[in-house]
Chain A
Amino acid sequence: MSTPHPLPPDEAIEAALDDLQQGQCAALDPRVAGDSALSSAAGLQQRIDGRLARLFQFDPPPPDAVASLLGAPAAEPAPALPRAVKLRRWHAAAALAAAAAIAWAVLTIAPRNGPAHAPLFAFQPLREIYRETVAQGFEPYYECREADRFADTFARRQGLPLQLLPLPVGSSMLGLSYPGGLSRHTTAMLGRVDGQPVMVFVDRAAADQPGAAAGGDASLRIFRAQRDGLVFYEVTPLGEARLTDYLAPVERRGAAPQPSTAH
Chain B
Amino acid sequence: MTPPQNCDRTAIAGPVDLADPRSFAAHYRAAYSRLALVAAGMIGDRTAAEDVVQDAAIIAFQRAAQFTPGTNFAAWMAEIVRRCALNYRRKAKHRKTYPADPALLSQVEHQGAGGESWRSIASLSGDMLEDQGQFDDELIRALKQLSPEARCCLLLRTVERLSYAEIAALMHMPEGTAMSHVHRSRTALRRALSREPAAHLPASEAAP
Contact = CB atoms under 8 A, between A and B. Distances in A.
**A and B physically associate:** yes
Interface of A: 1-2, 4-5, 7, 11, 14, 17-19, 21, 41, 44-45, 47-61, 63, 66-67, 69-73, 75-82, 84-85, 113-118, 120, 122, 124, 128-129, 132-133, 136-143, 152, 156, 177-181, 188
A54 B124 CA distance: 8
Contact of B158 (A52, A124, A136, A141): A52
Q: Which of B22, B23, B103, B194 has the most CB of A within 10 A?
A: B103
Given A56-B159, A115-B123, A156-B54, A141 B189 contact: no
Nearest to A136: B97
Given A41-B190, A77-B22, A141-B99, 16 more contacts: A45-B190, A48-B193, A50-B127, A53-B159, A56-B159, A57-B159, A58-B49, A66-B57, A73-B21, A77-B23, A115-B123, A117-B124, A122-B103, A133-B97, A138-B97, A180-B104
Interface residues of B, number: 72
A58 B103 contact: no
Contact of A54 (B48, B104, B126): B126
Contacts of A49: 158
Nearest to B35: A58
B24 A70 contact: yes
Contacts of A178: 51, 99-100
A7 B125 contact: no
Interface in B55-91: 57-58, 61, 91
Interface of B: 1-2, 8, 11-12, 14, 16, 21-30, 32-33, 36-37, 40, 46, 48-51, 54, 57-58, 61, 91, 95-100, 102-104, 106-107, 119-121, 123-127, 135-136, 139-140, 143, 154-155, 157-159, 182-183, 186-187, 189-191, 193-195, 197
Nearest to B73: A79
B21 A72 contact: yes
Q: Which of B23, B99, B121, B139 has the most CB of A within 10 A?
A: B99
Given A55-B125, A58-B50, A72 B25 contact: yes
A120 B103 CA distance: 11
B189 A48 contact: yes
Contact of A179 (B58, B103, B195): B103
Contact of A44 (B23, B27, B193): B193
B124 A118 contact: yes
B29 A7 contact: no
B123 A118 contact: yes
